[in-house]
A = this chain, B = another copy of it.
Amino acid sequence: MINVSVLGASGYGGGELLRLLLFHKKVKVQQVTSRSFAGKRVTVIHPNLRGVTDLHFCTPSELTKCDLLFCALPNGESMHYMDKLMKLSHKIIDTGADFRLKDLHTFESWYGEKHVKSDLLGKFVYGIAELHRTEIKNAKYIACGGCEATVSILSLYPLVKKGLIDLNNIIIDGKMSSSQAGNKPTLSSHHAERSRVVRTYAPLGHRHTAEIEQELSFGNKKAFVSVTATSIEMVRGLLVTIHTKILDGVTEKNIWSAYREIYKNEPFIRIVNETEGIYRYPEPKILEGTNYCDIGFALDSKSKHLVVIGAIDNLGKGTAGQAVQAMNIMCGYPETTGLTFPGLHPV
């Protein structure tokens, strides 16, 4: 049993963390912070937790020592507090972007701002368990992957690792939900404007490109990806349609083998390529609230066009679920503890 606190618990990622942690049998939630809502019950903001908890938000300055600290601040904020946070807890899991990139220059060029704690960049382990399980087990500090990066990396990793695809020809066409943009109201998130859109908000140059390239480059084999992001009518969930080319000689069987071999013991990866029913490829709506990443693919052997489809809950495997999975590994708990909700159907 450990005591954990959540910094930035009024956001959507923070709220989802709280939901998972309150039902985690090895964890006691000690404090949850919110600058805007300090003093208020968490259920004012997260009404799904009514009857589950009496917790109130406190201010960040009221945080006391704990066994593990989740940091769920907006991108660009945690680096300003990390020194202090490291004094409060020996283990920190950050769901923001600040410590994901190993390379200072890459961070500064993609995020357009100076990194104030670049000396710590090397101390964080990227939080995707399927790629970094051993490092996470021994880590003190974790930087969870961005939601679109997570699903893209997991969808492509076996193909890249096994050398099956052209690393210069990877296009990620992401279908995005409104919760990815956070909980701050703007005109573009205003219901009458945002509802039922098919809105290309980033045709090129999505920031997660940097993470994906980092995680899919091994030695001198560098991957180059291009990300296109389109918002659709969806509050929660994320699907990527990845268009790539297989290398000469690669067969469909090679692809199957790659996924099966690399993910054969993964509790949260499912290969979804069905021949019956109406849910034949991954779909995000049945993943809401889960920690699954579902992956499917289709190959046109003639043109070598390979379509890979990956789906997650952006707040689940894409944020809070990934963070809890990392915590489980760090703390030696069974990896699926608190993460077994299977999703709903119909929904």
A-side residues, CB < 8 A to B, are: 12, 15-16, 19, 22-23, 40, 43-52, 171, 173, 175, 177-179, 183-200, 203-205, 224, 226, 228, 230, 232-237, 239, 241, 243, 270, 272, 274, 276-286, 288-289, 292, 294, 296-300, 303, 305, 307, 309, 311, 340-347
Contact = CB atoms under 8 A, between A and B. Distances in A.
A244 to B, nearest CB: 10
B300 A193 contact: no
A36 to B, nearest CB: 11
Contact of A179 (B192, B296, B341): B192
Instruction: Name which of A12, A278, A285, A299 has the most chain B CB atoms within 10 A of its CB.
Output: A278
A208 B141 CA distance: 50
Given A46-B345, A230-B241, A281-B200, A289 B286 contact: no
A299 B235 CA distance: 29
B233 A196 contact: yes
A228 B199 contact: no
15 contacts: A19-B344, A43-B277, A44-B274, A50-B294, A173-B173, A173-B243, A177-B192, A185-B187, A191-B191, A191-B194, A191-B195, A199-B283, A203-B309, A230-B239, A235-B346
Contacts of A184: 190
Contact of A190 (B177, B189, B277, B344): B189
